[in-house]
Amino acid sequence: MTEKERKMRQPVRITLAMALWALILWFLTLGHPGLQPVAKAILIIFVLPMGLVEWLKYKGAVSDTRAGVAKVLAMVGAALLWYFSYR
């Protein structure tokens, strides 16, 4: 098996990174239930949109030059969704 064959594919890395963020945020809220809304906001506003745009970039729907703008727009959309869902 060569080095290239041992590497994880891009969708697997994106999923693992998102799961790791969720695990870190869950761990930080274990003894502090007051931090749960903050952790939920971080996950919804930052982690999920970044993963979505990276996946779209991998699929070719978003170019490398437009990925930064797409990430900002996705975060703004997620922030609005979070604000109106949890207020």
Query: Does residue 1 carry a pLDDT above 50?
Result: no
User: Is the predicted pLDDT of residue 78 greater than 90, yes or no?
Assistant: yes
CB 71 within 8 A of CB 45: no
Q: For residue range 20-38, what is the model confidence (pLDDT) as tens digits?
A: 999 999 999 998 999 999 9
Q: How many domains does the chain have?
A: 1
For residue 44, the 8-state DSSP code is I
Question: Is the pTM here over 0.85, yes or no?
Answer: no
Residue 10, domain extent? 3-86
pLDDT one-digit tens code per residue, 37-70: 999 999 999 999 999 999 999 999 999 999 999 9
Q: In which region does residue 60 sit, left (phi positive, over 0), alpha (psi from -120 to 50) or beta (all else)?
A: left
**4 pLDDT tier (thresholds 50, 70, 90):** low
DSSP-derived letter for residue 43 is I
pLDDT tier, 86 (very low <50, low <70, confident <90, very high otherwise): confident
